[in-house]
A and B are shown apart, each in its own frame.
Chain A
Amino acid sequence: MSTPTLEVEDLRTVFLTDAGAVRAVDGVSFTVGAGETLGIVGESGSGKSVTALSLMRLLEEPARIAGGSIRFQGRDLLAMRPEELRALRGDRMAMVFQDPMTGLNPVIRILRQLTEPMVGHGRFAAPEARRRAVGLLVRMGITAPERSILRFPHEFSGGMRQRVMLAMGFANDPALLIADEPTTALDVTIQAQILDLLRQLNAEFGTAILLISHDLSVIGSVCRRVAVMYAGEVVEEAVTEAVLADPRHPYAWALVNAVPRIDQPLGADRRLVSIEGAPPDALNLPQGCRFAPRCPFKVERCEREHPPLAEVAPGRLARCWVTQAGQVLPKAGGAGLGGVRPPPPPAAEPLLAVRGLVKHFPLPRESFFAPRRVVHAVNGIDLDVARGETLGIVGESGCGKSTLARLVTRIHAPTAGSIVFGGQEIAGASPAAIRPLRRRMQMVFQDPYASLNPRMTIGDTLAEPLVAHGLARRGVEVRDRVGGLLEMVGLNPAWVSRFPHEFSGGQRQRISIARALALEPEMIVADEPISALDVNIQAQILNLMLDLQQRMGLTYLFIAHDLAVVRHLCDRVVVLYLGKVMESAPAEALFARPLHPYTGVLISAVPEPGRQRVLLQGEPPSTLAPPRGCPFRGRCPIAQPVCETMPPLAEAEAGRWVACHFPGGFSHAGLGA
């Protein structure tokens, strides 16, 4: 056997902080053979990104490698002089980072950014490098590369930029490509394109790939093997499919089962497996197994002794006393978690009815005489939300889903259309007229770090709406209500005098939910409430939302881009594209048999190992100049000339509304249950 491309042994990386040395990577070992693909999965803070930077020797103060060895093609990386390392980086080993929007230098043309590693490492002369750059862009699927190469990064969309980043990574035909969350910032259809590209590049060039992601499905669709990291350690390493099907470490088990799968049959019980608690403090690690404090399967030995990474089955390593002793972790499916949801009662009149809703944002003029440009965020949306149901809104970025949330909650005033909530027209109502209605409709925001006022204690944050609406008198009454709210969302009522920065993301999202519940609303608009959270915390929050809905009969307008979550949580789903409704249907039916081609493509783009995929070409058109007719026709696989007129949103089957001239005309073997 030839020398492996990368051998990592007992790697230790620490952050030297004022409080002490934080062990971010603590004894990690793995091997990547030539042309192999390995994924590293873990939640934020697990040390996966620090591992990647350690491999490239790109750590910045105050991080440094404190021990272990890294061998690249047999050479010791840790013994290399800076000049030797530099010669290796971008040549034999390359790295692609998470955010394509900031990774390209805004003031330098794509051409130079692409050719500088080729010329800088002396592999190609300038004219040759230019030819190669064009070739690489073609390979990455960029149209008109001769022209594109002379552009500046801001003229490219996120997906295009990530293709350029990949082209940069492959500039010198490296032996190893490290990709750190390369698709996390991208929409699902673009993610599918990039993952597909990675797979092809690995097959074509034989480049070994180390893919880092928080999403096991993303890794599963590219990498043959995966290492699961927790608290700076690898806790499980095996073939990806095996981990997905039968995880052997309780943390991997929780990771696999915390996310709903898009092709899993839906049961009556919608609660997800979630492990309580948070990862341990890296300054104060438990003496035994680091996962023991949160582990539902722990035995006495786990808290006492730190388990080694050992073989639990042929080709499968796990750092767990329980599975090493031969015990099998249960199959998921919410064993005994209880809580069956009754179907929503058929309501005579919807709680919220939206008709012909339009919102245009005029951009500020470039100068006094420049023409005014307008963002067409929402372009005529109709929808109904029945009392007690959960309506999911899905779509890619720029489809207008967040604007829609801000319109129905009247943070923004619509340009046109009507919004009837609880029988009252609120589209044109004045802020003062809406204020009493605010008690009945509340909102939960996406970013738990931005949605709480950093200068108010959570006690004040929760008391504010109660006092403002006269629901409780200041003093004991407010204090009791605030304590009750905190308990309701699973937080300690003694924490009222803390400030938001003292809480984790998941806890903050609970506080946000508590604030929304303070006014005892009938309806909650949740704008991507879980997308900024780690998967385990996502499951906790989803379970909390399900609980609260059952207890209080809440109605949810749930906005998300994660289709599997929407399918799991929602009764009905509305699919948006460029500010228009493409399809609206009961969740199960929609996912089983999408009628609109866009819905079909969207579902097929969800990363899931072993699934057939319809790759959608191109990107959504600009909201500054939306096309005439069906907005999707430019990318639609079945578009016809007739699509130049906008099809109406019509009832194609009972309860299913589609805006397409050919409903159900697009089918694919990989679609449907």
Chain B
Amino acid sequence: MLRTVVTRLAGAAVMAVLATLVIFLIANTVPGDPVLAQLGDIAASNPATVAEWRAKWGLDLPLWEQYLIFLRGLAQGDLGTSIASQRPVLEDIAQYAPATVELASIAFLLALGIGIPLGIAAAVWRDSWVDAAARVVSLIGVSSPTFWLAFIMLAIFYGGLQIAPGPGRLDPIAFPPDEVTGFFLVDTLLAGDWEGFRDAAAHLVLPSIVLAAATIGLITRTTRAAMLEAMGQDYVRVSRAKGMRERYTILRHVLPNALIPVVTLGGLAYANLLAGAVMTETVFSWPGLGRYTFRSAAALDFPAIMGITLVVSVTYLLVNLLVDLSYAMLDPRVRR
């Protein structure tokens, strides 16, 4: 088990280094001269100024040396400076990340909490109305564009019925809680601010449903397929031949096997939720990484975009690593 952890960690580290190389290369294929963008027309017409500027930023060095400098910066937590906010990218990311993690985590719990039971029910009562309903829910979930679903939900529940709060994390006139973790649900509780907690929770309902929609569909489908696969295995018949109750057979024999592929998907889905938050946050004016990404992309703020890509990719790698390891926990055949 320890060896598995170590080898997987080492593999992930190799991939992370390669990922920085890819990001560096993308950043350096940017069309248009950064000199022009940064110095403006007049200064750029003076060759001496340009040369000096290039030397200052290391742009006259060969590409591989520039990469090494980039790596050195990374090692010190330097992701560059955002053009738009004029602040270090890492600071920006640290500021916006909690909102996104809070949203994605709630959406993830929602997706698992709805998707897995629905998938199980669909498989157990195969071809019944439950199965049909699960199918409709999952198909609509995976087929709806997130950004549109966000608009529709806002239009219906906030604009039309007025039973849901509007965009944002809190009521516009409410004060945010003292920052401890950056998660409003936690921070309001820590401050003993029940009003604030209710407000934060209410603001989470629509965006988390929207964000979870596609994932609910995926998890329902995968769970159903994995359950059906496991239910067709010989050990299920053996369990029945042993006289075990049907409920026991499903929960203790079928489910543990069916969950193995769901875990893989679940890990991937969580990472994708972090990334998919771009659309949801944009529509719900959610002050998280997603909206930051959108703004950076719209403003062509490359240091910010590359910084986000790097941070999210490393998170992605870590989540995949965790999935691999939990896989080994669930499936003894992978253990060693």
| A/B touching: CB–CB < 8 A | yes
A residues engaging B (CB < 8 A)? 56, 58, 86-91, 94-95, 97, 99, 102-108, 116-117, 120-121, 152, 154, 165, 168, 171, 366-370
Give the chain A neighbours of B248 by CB distance below 8 A.
Answer: 116, 120
A116 with B244: in contact, given A58-B237, A154-B332 (CB under 8 Å)? yes
Give the chain B neighbours of A89 by CB distance below 8 A.
Answer: 240-243
**How many Å from the CB of B299 to the closest CB on chain A?**
39
B241 near A94: Cβ-Cβ < 8 Å: yes
A97 with B234: in contact, given A108-B256, A120-B245, A121-B243 (CB under 8 Å)? yes
The answer to whether B11 has its CB under 8 Å from any CB of chain A is: yes
| Sample of 19 more A-B contacts, CB < 8 Å, known A107-B332, A120-B248, A370-B3 | A56-B241, A58-B240, A87-B243, A88-B243, A90-B243, A94-B242, A99-B234, A102-B233, A102-B235, A103-B238, A104-B235, A105-B253, A107-B257, A108-B253, A108-B256, A116-B248, A368-B10, A369-B11, A370-B7
B244 near A106: Cβ-Cβ < 8 Å: no
A95 near B241: Cβ-Cβ < 8 Å: yes
Give the chain B neighbours of A105 by CB distance below 8 A.
Answer: 235, 238-239, 253, 256-257
The answer to whether B135 has its CB under 8 Å from any CB of chain A is: no
| Contact among A90, A99, A121, A368 for B241, CB-based, below 8 A | A90
**How many Å from the CB of B2 to the closest CB on chain A?**
13
Give the chain B neighbours of A121 by CB distance below 8 A.
Answer: 243
Report the bound CA distance from A90 to B332 in whole Å: 26
Give the chain A neighbours of B257 by CB distance below 8 A.
Answer: 105-107
Report the bound CA distance from A187 to B169 in whole Å: 67
Taking CB atoms and an 8 Å cut-off, the chain B residues in 1-39 that contact chain A are 3-4, 6-8, 10-11, 14
B333 near A117: Cβ-Cβ < 8 Å: no
A86 with B245: in contact, given A97-B237, A106-B257, A107-B330 (CB under 8 Å)? yes
Taking CB atoms and an 8 Å cut-off, the chain B residues in 28-82 that contact chain A are none
**How many Å from the CB of B301 to the closest CB on chain A?**
36
Scan B237-277; emit 1 where CB is below 8 A from any A CB, else 0: 11111111100100011001100100000000000000000
B234 near A102: Cβ-Cβ < 8 Å: yes
Would you mind naming 23 contact pairs between A and B with Cβ atoms under 8 Å apart?
A56-B241, A86-B244, A88-B243, A90-B243, A90-B244, A94-B241, A102-B233, A102-B234, A103-B238, A105-B238, A107-B257, A108-B256, A116-B252, A117-B242, A120-B242, A120-B244, A165-B238, A168-B238, A168-B242, A366-B7, A367-B4, A367-B8, A368-B10
Report the bound CA distance from A159 to B333 in whole Å: 18
**How many Å from the CB of A100 to the closest CB on chain B?**
9
Report the bound CA distance from A106 to B244 in whole Å: 17
Give the chain A neighbours of B240 by CB distance below 8 A.
Answer: 58, 89
B243 near A117: Cβ-Cβ < 8 Å: yes
Which residue from chain A places its CB closest to the CB of B260 in the assembled complex? A107
A368 with B234: in contact, given A105-B253, A107-B330 (CB under 8 Å)? no
Give the chain B neighbours of A107 by CB distance below 8 A.
Answer: 256-257, 260, 330-332
Report the bound CA distance from A99 to B237 in whole Å: 12
Which residue from chain A places its CB closest to the CB of B232 in the assembled complex? A60
B241 near A367: Cβ-Cβ < 8 Å: no
Report the bound CA distance from A152 to B260 in whole Å: 16
Give the chain B neighbours of A168 by CB distance below 8 A.
Answer: 238, 242
How many residues of B are in contact with the other chain, CB < 8 A? Answer: 31
B331 near A86: Cβ-Cβ < 8 Å: no
A368 near B7: Cβ-Cβ < 8 Å: yes
| Contact among A58, A102, A369 for B7, CB-based, below 8 A | A369
Taking CB atoms and an 8 Å cut-off, the chain B residues in 204-260 that contact chain A are 233-235, 237-245, 248, 252-253, 256-257, 260
A366 near B336: Cβ-Cβ < 8 Å: yes
Give the chain A neighbours of B233 by CB distance below 8 A.
Answer: 102
Give the chain A neighbours of B14 by CB distance below 8 A.
Answer: 368
Which residue from chain A places its CB closest to the CB of B8 in the assembled complex? A367
A120 near B235: Cβ-Cβ < 8 Å: no
Which residue from chain B places its CB closest to the CB of A92 in the assembled complex? B243
**How many Å from the CB of A498 to the closest CB on chain B?**
30
Report the bound CA distance from A88 to B242 in whole Å: 9
| Contact among B11, B243, B260 for A86, CB-based, below 8 A | B243
Give the chain B neighbours of A94 by CB distance below 8 A.
Answer: 241-242
Report the bound CA distance from A368 to B7 in whole Å: 7
Report the bound CA distance from A90 to B239 in whole Å: 9
Report the bound CA distance from A368 to B18 in whole Å: 15
Report the bound CA distance from A368 to B8 in whole Å: 8
Give the chain A neighbours of B330 by CB distance below 8 A.
Answer: 107
B333 near A154: Cβ-Cβ < 8 Å: yes
A106 with B332: in contact, given A97-B237, A368-B11, A369-B11 (CB under 8 Å)? yes
A369 near B243: Cβ-Cβ < 8 Å: no
**How many Å from the CB of B314 to the closest CB on chain A?**
18
A58 near B234: Cβ-Cβ < 8 Å: no
Report the bound CA distance from A15 to B119 in whole Å: 29
Which residue from chain A places its CB closest to the CB of B15 in the assembled complex? A368
**How many Å from the CB of A37 to the closest CB on chain B?**
20
